[in-house]
A = this chain, B = another copy of it.
């Protein structure tokens, strides 16, 4: 199991988790998809209240996106955006707990995808309002319609929308891989703690090289979409 949680140095948690059988590796299918969660400017650029400098995550994710395009695998992107009814009207309960997210207003700059990402026009862009990329969106339906069986989850933040999307992905029937270099957070402790939880219970935290090799091994002749 991935030992990345700083405070877990005495080994007691590892022993408890081994007894509970956490940390198994998942099977990998023949039709991977790459989900890039919320690498919009509001999260990848430090000038926004919700943001931090995630240039390394954008670069690593871009390598995986390029590899997926090359292999004719599906790549999907998400961003978050809220309207008047959400921000001022209470239509989104999450904004009552996290009002700063309301700076991600429909049509504004922080909602735009980071321009360094090599998104193709045919890659779906899913606009969401919750933490999970699956909640209130057609993501599961699109993955099913395109017969994706294994989901590589990238993006931000590890302790927020990535974690929530990983949990929903495995609940929805997909095997999940999280390339460590492709996810990021604004603070290191929640990042580490959530990678620990993900790797123990929901999906395999792997190296980017492993992810690149896996995606290449599933190369297909026809484009995914």
Contacts and interface: CB of A to CB of B under 8 A. Distances in A.
Interface of A: 5-8, 12-13, 16-17, 19-22, 24, 26-27, 29, 49-50, 52, 83-86, 88-94, 96-101, 121-125, 129-132, 135-147, 149, 159-160, 163-164, 167-168, 170-176, 186-190, 193-194, 196-197, 201-204, 223-225
Given A21-B100, A189-B8, A225-B89, A172 B140 contact: yes
Contact of A174 (B16, B144, B173): B144
Contact of A193 (B85, B88, B139, B193): B193
A170 B97 contact: yes
**Identical copies in the complex:** 4
Given A93-B175, A130-B138, A141-B173, 7 more contacts: A5-B190, A7-B189, A83-B125, A84-B225, A85-B142, A91-B142, A129-B138
A51 B29 CA distance: 31
Contacts of A129: 138, 141
